[in-house]
Structure 1
Amino acid sequence: MSTAPGAPSGRPPTPDVSVVVAVHNTMPYLTRCLSSLVEQTIGQRRMEVIVVDDGSTDGSAEEIERFAALHPGLFTTLQQANSGGPAAPSNRGLERARGRYVFFLGADDHLSPEALERMVTMADNCRSDVLLCKMVPIGERTVPTGVFSRTAPVIRLVGDGLPWALSNTKLFRRSLIEEHGIRYDESMPAFSDQPFVLEACVRASRISVLADKPHYFAVRRADSGNITFRTDPRVRLRCAERLFEATCRHFAPGPLRDAFHKRHFHVELFQLFGADFPALPEAARESVCTGAARLIGAHGDGVLERLDPRRRRTLELAWRGDVPALLADIAHDPLRTPPPPRVGRFPAVRRLMTTVLG
């Protein structure tokens, strides 16, 4: 573990915002990510950046140290063995954070220059516990849109698009996180940010949205190496089970719980039966189908019928355990037909990043 040089004289003892960046093999995108933090108009006296390298092997560690050397006092750098997902490095970064607010930035992504300054200003003015800034996609990445239809000093848990925007790319009041001991579930290789964000939003007195212009640029890597896109469906199923456990823990049966369950049916469960499902061994396909059927049976009442016909058809087939029909359904869906092989810029990195099943 290494730590960047100490803060320059005159730096406030408590930064306005701590930015946590969990990194694992994200070159060359990491350079743009860290550059966008150096360029922030909030100024380096009011912010700190905690970069946690989760066992990178592609030069990310060296790039982190280069930025730390160029900008002493701004970067705190931590190194650890690869943990298999973003939860552990995010927790390590959170443990080191000192700011009044904490913001989590994906190591593939980057911010507009004024993003942090405008978010902190709005959060202070609105007394926000959680604040979302407008996201836009780069490449084939998808981002929520409904929640960013307007700037709002306060939004509801349900009714303003929040269930569709559960990534951790938000500004959180750190005292709220610490008061309730909110942390990432390190047993979840994928989706670990969603229970974290859900609990923070449930505990928050006020959730705000800054949506007048794009501030967060979400990048889909050319090699589709983002953790969600490269995790095996069997692992995603186990993680999806935790998502339903979280909503049931925070909400009694009723409209609030159903709204978040609809999101999980629409996104996480449906994506189990994407282009990678037919390539699984037969026993694995049966296992994924059985697990999904269990979740649909437990939580689908009042939710399944509210899905669009395409997703409802797929999940009904999974509920019935009809794997042959599922395979036919995928084969006839152009949006789920496996694309032709493409040679990414970092094939060796892709192999290293393949999730190892337990």
Structure 2
Amino acid sequence: MPYLTRCLASLTAQTIGAHRMEVVVVDDGSTDGGTAEIERFAARHPGLFTVVRQPNSGGPAAPSNRGLELATGRYVFFLGADDHLAHEALERMVDMADACGSDVLLCKMAAVGERTVPTHVFARTAPSIRLVGDGLPWALSNTKLFRRSLIERHGVRYDEEMPAFSDQPFVMELCFRARRISVLADQEHYFAVRRADSGNITFRAGPELRLRCAAKLFATTCRFLEPGPVRTGFHRRHFHVELCQLFGPDFPALDPRVRERIVTGVAELVGAHGDGVLETLDAPQRRILELAGRGAAEALCAEAQRGPGRRTGARPARSGGSPLRGSPLVRWLLTPVRHVRRAGRQLVG
């Protein structure tokens, strides 16, 4: 609350109509008045809401899995309780997915309250995009339309051992298994909100939790992708987004023992997955990860204190788009994908 009110109102206003949708609300032990608000909406819209209440699980994975158990539609869409949809969002997404035969469909996102959202993947509406080359690795949130039969056929669920970021391995597995991934980008459909108190769980996750979750991301890509440019594209994203951000301005203030554990953990991931990837990073990110690989915690503190704009070799940040844009890596990542492995069989992505 009060973000939940706008979230639920955006669902009851959907042009797809109540006869073509179901809203499964999982109240994961809310304590802010959300329960009463859910009851109010359910009473005003009989038959539309299925409401489940459970003790707080500590993260979004368990309630997301509970919602999947109850869903009956041809498609599922995950909407954060802080966020909201444009009026025509679900109708237009379903229409496009039906027309294109999409297993996964991304809708254009808009940032509210200093939230960041991907941009490169939403450069244009596309009936089909590639795993790497169109910005998908940089857009791994679960704010997508998924064909439910794909989820159930492979038994895909959120990892309940991940208090945060559990949507990313979930999304990656479904994208790796999908026959077609589409993008609806002609207008903004999903409004991602950063609370005024920065209370979103992803903003509250500590560095050690982030590191454990990053290891799960690498494990997911290695499970489904053979070594090659597609795996490199996803690992490049994991290094850039998940690992480099651990050495931001808050790193020097951490307890020295925590700093050492972070450096050791990152060094292990760099050693396991860095070959062929580190050289594709921009110079500042490459230097950070090379220092971590050498266990140079004090040097990493100095780098963090200097700030990104003053690090050796740092370049001004580009506005919008994916960090892939303008990289030499793009030239060879745009070749046909022949490195996706599904159940031991080779497929063309």
Range class of TM-score, shorter chain: 0.7 to 0.9
Aligned residue for 1:28? 2
Inter-partner Cα distance in structure 1 for 2:199 and 2:113: 13
Q: How many residues align?
A: 310
The AA in structure 2 aligned to 1:114 is E
In the alignment, structure 1 residue 102 sits paired with structure 2 residue 40: no
2:257 match: 283
Matched, 1:211 2:185: yes
> 2:209 is aligned with what amino acid?
V
State whether structure 2 residue 32 is matched by structure 1 residue 46: no
Work out the CA distance in 1 between the residues paired with 2:203 and 2:119.
20
Gaps of 5+ in 2: 311-349
2:140 pairs with 1:166: yes
Cα RMSD (Å) of the superposition? 1.3
Name the structure 1 match of 2:279.
305
Q: Equivalent residues in 2 for 1:229-244 (5 A)? A: 229-244=203-218
Matched, 1:197 2:171: yes
Secondary structure class of the residue paired with 1:278:
helix
Structure 1 range deviating more: 268-277 or 156-165: 268-277
Q: Does 1:251 align with 2:225?
A: yes
Per-residue displacement from partner, 1:150-183 (whole Å, max 9, x unpaired)? 1011111111111111111000010111011111
Aligned AA (1:140):
E
1:223 to partner: Cα distance:
1.3
Give the alignment of 1:54-203 within 5 angstroms: 54-203=28-177
Task: Please state how far the C-alpha of 1:107 moved relative to its aligned partner.
Answer: 1.2
Q: Distance in 1 between matches of 2:209 and 2:253?
A: 15
Query: What one-letter code is carried by the residue in structure 2 that aligns with 1:66?
Result: R
- Deviation digits for residues 38-66 of structure 1, max 9, x if unmatched? 11011111101111111111112222122
Over residues 318-348 of structure 1, what are the superposed CA-to-partner deviations in whole Å (9 max), with x where a residue is unaligned?
1121111111111111689xxxxxxxxxxxx
State the AA in 1 paired with 2:137: P
The structural deviation recorded for 1:311 is: 1.8
Inter-CA distance 334–311: structure 2 relative to 1 (3 Å threshold): closer
Q: Distance in 2 between matches of 1:308 and 1:34?
A: 42
The structural deviation recorded for 1:274 is: 2.2
Unaligned runs of 5+ in 1: 1-26, 337-358
**Correspondence for 1:351:** none
SS at match of 1:318: helix
Instruction: Tell me the SS of whatever aligns to 1:125.
Output: helix
CA distance in 2, matches of 1:316, 1:139: 34
Q: How high is the TM-score relative to the length of structure 2?
A: 0.86
1:318-357 pair list within 5 angstroms: 318-333=292-307
Q: Which residue of 1 aligns with 2:324?
A: none
- Cα distance, 1:313 vs structure 2: 2.1
Distance in 2, matches of 1:335 and 1:110, equals 34
Matching residue's letter, 1:51: V
Counterpart of 2:270 (choices 296, 307, 316) is: 296
The question of whether the paired residues in 1 share the 8 Å contact of 2:104 and 2:181 is answered with yes
3-state DSSP of counterpart to 1:57: coil
- Cα deviation for residue 127 of structure 1 reads 0.9
